[in-house]
Amino acid sequence: MRLQLLRQPLLFFYLIMLCLLCGRIGVTYAANVSITGADAAVYDQVTGSFVFQGDIVITTGDTTIKAGYVIYDGTNNRLDIRGPLTITYDGATLAGRDLSYQIDTNTGSLKQAQAEMTPASAVSPMYLLGDEVTTCSERTVLSGAKVTTCDPAAPGYYLSAAVIEIYPEDRIVLYQVRFVESGLTLFYWPRLTFSLKAERDDEFTLPQIGHSANEGWYVKSKFRYQGPWSQHGELHLDYMQYLGWGFGVSHVLRTDDKGTDKFHLYVQPNKKSGHTDLTLTFDEQRTYGKNINVTLHSGYKSTGETQGERRQFSNRIAISQSRTGGSTSVSYNDLRYWGVQPGYDTSGSVNHTQTLFGDWRLRLNGTLHKRDLANAKYRNLMGYFAEITKNTADWSLGLVAEDRFNPDLEDDEVADISWNRARRLPELTVRINRFKLFGWETPFTFDAAWGMLTENRQGSSISTERVHVAGRIKPQKLNMKLFGEFTWSGSLIRRWYGTGESQWVAGSQTNYSLPITKALVLTGNHAYEQAFGDVTPFHFDRVSYREQISGRLSYQSNALQVSASTGYNLVTKRLHDVVASLRYSPTAKMRFQLQTAYSLENQIWNYVVGTVQLSPCPAFTLNLGAKYNMIEQRPDRIDAEFFWDLGGWELGYTAIYDGTKNQFERGDFIVTRDLDCRAFDIRYNQVDKAIWLEYRITAFPKAGVKVGASDTSLMFDARGWEELLADE
């Protein structure tokens, strides 16, 4: 909301008077000010006054003023516009009656003011109404003010204030604030203050009221304050039925274009545990020269447990820099517990990339995770990767040093693994990307590598060198016109190990496509990979023999898509299931889909899935879906969703039923009453057995009030209301 909306256009009237003194009626220009459309102008030499009448349009820059009667009192240097007028400035419109402005003192007033604007967070206009507006260089005052997004002539809801004081570029103060819906006052605040300073993220918040199993009934409140100097923060005052009172402060020490420093302190004499719980945190974010970003966090938390006191210390640091030719980032996290259930959880990472001279590039990475906590899997993981490469269009060269752990170790539910750590110290690789023979560029690429490798297993370790040589054929196409098209690629790898083993690894990928008709297409695929010779002494680079073929027949038209696919595993000698799919869209408002699978080996149908999507008109949508397990003779899942706009009323339902658990995963029913500028929702969640009423302002999608209850809790939440008066 532009607070200069009234004061700045009023100052332009002094320039308009200079135009009138020149005696030019019709179109006059002076200091980029013009006035048009005047039917008559009268000048009184005794009083030095001008009277200007007609459909007057005054413009200066981006400001346009429309009025019908303008008086300039030369003796008192006073400007009056009688009757209705409008001022358009910076995309906002202000309307009112009887504007009076004293040029010498830079003060004025406007009656029956009405401003229209669309804030960035709104999807429709917002209106500000006032019985009278008075302005001076220090502040602007609105009496009998209202804010609404409804029709301003008959607003269904509005936020009102007896007086609004606006201090340019500083703050807005509202007195005796009421939120009125259909003539009924729902909320009341004696006074609200909003900061207009760019560095403040100042929002007012309503108390949070609710119930939870741990806290019981609770009321949580925040009170914002300003100072000292440019610092600011908020006080916390909470009451919880089971825990008691809680007190805290969140204070911003500094916030500017270089970063933010803030701390948080919260104390709660916990009457459930008999221990005074304490939380203390400090956070800093700062940007230094050369695009260096630093984030710091330190925290301490003390809580009472059944076995005694538990103390927690947490520290985090992250440093990053992006620059031409590379980037660097470092992060470290440390969490430690003392007292009850002591332990630690430490992790960190380092990443660095840099373009060196010519086409050389350096890449470094390091990771660390050490953890010893109760009820958590023990971890002692460390790894690093260092690589320097040179890449050209014809060839590339790379030198790698690596120590990595098995990725499955990062999973707390890890299964049995054959190796837990592998190292390359180092490995040198040379690759020829384009191989030419007598000036002809062949489809071959070649690479060779030598490395000293080590692998750790459960209770054992092996270390030896490995030589790797490989030739690869780039994807080749063979177009046989009416007989279809083949695409083929292959590779052949030779490896030698210092322990005496050697092996070949062959692989290929073949794809075939045959358009039988324009709509009917047959596709096939063959994938193959196999190792020959000795078994590698390592586990991490072993190749499992795989070979399979698959085929698919598909038909596609504008309304109908049908396909059937199957395959055969040449290693296990097992047939793949036949999977058939159908999608039929007779119109843009209707779609049917069906999929089923048949086991050729067991000669049984596995499942069938069907969906229906109907939208006969924009006001009605219905989606249904189900998966039926034909082996166990039960539904695995059922989905349903519909939306129906009845003109002012809307009905909706979304449900997911899990047949394997014989229960609903989701079940939401909603009834909405749309009152144009606001809406009421009644929602019921059949899973949580919760029902609630939500009130929404449609112009501000984030603004709403929710009141409801479930089996175990009461919910009350108000959000987004600050957008109604927030500064743009």
Q: DSSP string of 376-396?
A: S--EEEEEEEEEEEEE-SSEE
Model pLDDT, residue 1: 24
Percent of the chain with pLDDT over 90: 54
Query: Would residue 504 count as lying in a domain?
Result: no
Per-residue pLDDT tens over the stretch 300-336: 999 998 889 999 999 999 999 999 889 999 999 999 9
Name the one residue in this structure whose structure tokens are 């008691």.
244
Omega within 30 of 0 (cis) for the link into 228: yes
* Tally of residues, the chain: 728
pLDDT at 473: 96
Residue 614 lies in a domain: no
Share of the chain above pLDDT 70, in %: 87
Predicted pLDDT at 11:
33
What's the number of domains the chain is made of?
1
Q: How far apart are CA 236 and CA 144, in angstroms?
A: 32
Tens of pLDDT, residues 147-173: 888 888 888 888 888 988 877 767 778
Q: What is the pLDDT of residue 671?
A: 95
Using DSSP's 3-state secondary structure scheme, residue 702 falls into coil
Beta strands in 516-589 (DSSP E): 520-533, 546-556, 560-569, 574-575, 578-587
124 part of a folded domain: yes
Neighbours of 617 (CB within 10 A): 9
Q: Which amino acid, one-letter code, is at 405? A: F
* Region class of 74: left (phi > 0), else alpha (psi between -120 and 50), else beta: alpha
Is 222 part of a structural domain of the chain? no
Using the predicted structure, report yes or no on whether residue 204 has a pLDDT greater than 60: no
Diameter of the chain measured on Cα atoms: 118
Q: DSSP per residue over 78-101, as a string?
A: EEEEEEEEEEEETTEEEEEEEEEE
Q: What are all long-range contacts of 652-661, with beta carbons under 8 Å and residues at least 24 apart?
A: 655/686, 659/629, 659/634, 659/635, 660/636
Beta strands in 45-170 (DSSP E): 49-60, 63-73, 78-89, 92-102, 107-117, 126-135, 140-148, 157-167
More confident: 93 or 592: 592
User: Which domain, by its residues, includes 56?
Assistant: 3-158
Rounded distance between C-alpha atoms, residue 310 and residue 20, angstroms: 80
pLDDT of 703 reads 65
DSSP 557: -
Yes or no: say if 49 and 69 are a contact pair by the CB < 8 Å rule. Answer: no
Instruction: Give the 3-state secondary structure of residue 207.
Output: coil
Helix (H) or strand (E) holding 17: helix 7-21
**pLDDT exceeds cutoff 70 at 224:** yes
The 10s digit of each residue's pLDDT in 420-479 is 999 999 999 999 999 888 888 899 999 999 999 999 998 899 999 999 999 999 999 999
710 within a domain of the structure (yes/no): no
In a domain, 518, yes or no: no
Q: Considering Cα of 143, then 144, then 148, then 151, what sign does the dihedral take? A: negative
Residues linked to residue 509 through DSSP beta bridges, in sequence order: 489, 527
* Rounded distance between C-alpha atoms, residue 73 and residue 2, angstroms: 29
77 part of a folded domain: yes
Distance of CA 324 to the CA centre of its chain: 28
Q: Phi, psi at residue 441, to the nearest 5°?
A: -80, 110
| Residues 112-148: tens digit of each pLDDT | 988 877 766 677 887 888 898 887 767 788 899 888 8
* Residue 191 within any structural domain of the chain: no
Within 8 A by CB and 6+ apart from 587, the residues are none
What's the pLDDT band for 728 if we cut at 50, 70, 90?
A: very low
Which amino acid makes up residue 54?
G
Q: Which residue type, as a one-letter code, is found at position 673?
A: R
CA-derived radius of gyration, the chain: 37
pLDDT band for 715, please (50, 70, 90 cuts): low
Strand bridging mode 436-437 / 440-441: antiparallel
pLDDT of residue 403: 96
CATH code, domain with 63: 2.60.450.10
Residue 28 has pLDDT above 60, yes or no: no
Count of Cβ atoms closer than 10 Å to residue 486 Cβ: 16
pLDDT band at 201 (very low <50, low <70, confident <90, very high): very low
Rounded distance, CA 216 to CA 212, Å? 5
172 closest CA partner among 152, 158, 193: 193
* d(C-alpha 26, C-alpha 141), whole Å: 35
Q: Residue 1 has which token pair?
A: 């909301």
Rounded-to-integer distance, Cα 571 and Cα 483, Å: 29
Taking the C-alpha atoms of residue 608 and residue 629, their distance in angstroms, rounded to an integer, is 7
Separation between Cα atoms, residue 623 and residue 639, nearest integer Å: 8
Average pLDDT, the chain: 85
**DSSP state at residue 19:** H
pLDDT, greater one: 437 or 717: 437
pLDDT digits (tens, 9 = 90+) for 396-407: 999 999 999 998
Three-class SS of residue 9?
helix
Closest CA to 710 of 681, 727, 685, 680: 685
Q: Nearest Cα to 256, choosing from 278, 287, 234?
A: 287
pLDDT over 80 at 485, yes or no: yes
